[in-house]
Structure 1
Amino acid sequence: MRAGNATIPRLPYLRRLDKIGLFEAMSAQDAVEALVGLGWPITPYGRDMEFWRLEDLIWSDDELIETASRQGVPPAQKVEQQIMAKDPPQTIGDMRRKAIVTDAEITAAVEAYLANPKVPRFQFASGHILDVSAAVEANRHAKTILAQKGTNGVFRRTMVRTAVILATPVAR
């Protein structure tokens, strides 16, 4: 870590953290996102953006990760395990990746909505039902684009498709 032009000696316990694999479990970007979420004004710094700046302090990736861990930010692997343990509801995009719904079905849902935005629901072959109108209403970007007159048809279709992919089915 450096303050201005002076170099502050590297902290001795960084080597210990590396031995337990903390640096492999958390990226500098994870640490930055977590610390910025806590209100820290961290910005990239350096000619090649190889350092991080917090007011007058300049930190390396390792020092930033160590600081994040001291602030209680869990390693990315642990966060991912916690998220997976909670088993969040599946979105249409998750279901597509698992081959529960197909691209053709997603396209059919989009086309049905574009043909008649008041169509109440679309049923996928798997039995899942999606309220496409509610999905578009819930997606602020899609809602904004579709409200604008004269928007390109391809762009409108893309925004509806995005809303569908991010939506969670209503029932099965």
Structure 2
Amino acid sequence: MISATMTSGPLTLANLRKAGVITSREIVAAIDPYMLDPATGPYLFSSGHSLDIAAIVGTTSSLNGWSELATRRMRSG
């Protein structure tokens, strides 16, 4: 359960982590599959929350080239 002291806006990883809903290790576990294969899809945390890193990268202008770079590196071995 999320503490009543948390903000009422959209949940962020920082808010969920601070509330103890997800752990830092779970965040790393969500990132690792994306780094290996950007087409992996959303990561489901044990709390039931999900994180779609590919969607974040695709909609963040400063990260737009990252997915293509990661895919090229993965294919080149």
Give TM-score, length-normalised by structure 1.
0.33
More strand by share: 1
- Which structure has the bigger radius of gyration? 1
Displacement of 1:142: 2.3
Change (3 A) 1:148 1:133: closer
After superposition, give the CA deviation of every residue in 1:39-86 in whole Å (9 maximum; x if it has no partner). xxxxxxxxxxxxxxxxxxxxxxxxxxxxxxxxxxxxxxxxxxxxx5xx
2:4 maps to what in 1?
none
Displacement of 1:119: 0.9
Q: Indicate whether 1:143 and 2:64 are aligned.
A: yes
Task: In structure 2, list runs of 5 or more residues that go unmatched.
Answer: 1-6, 70-77
Q: Indicate whether 1:117 and 2:63 are aligned.
A: no
* Alignment root-mean-square deviation, CA: 1.8
Change (3 A) 1:116 1:148: closer
Q: Indicate whether 1:134 and 2:55 are aligned.
A: yes
Q: Distance in 2 between matches of 1:93 and 1:120?
A: 21
Q: Distance in 1 between matches of 2:53 and 2:10?
A: 17
1:13 maps to what in 2?
none
Give TM-score, length-normalised by structure 2.
0.69
Aligned AA (1:92): L
Change (3 A) 1:108 1:128: same
Which of the numbers 3, 19, 38 marks the counterpart of 1:98?
A: 19
- The percent of aligned pairs where both chains have the same amino acid is 29
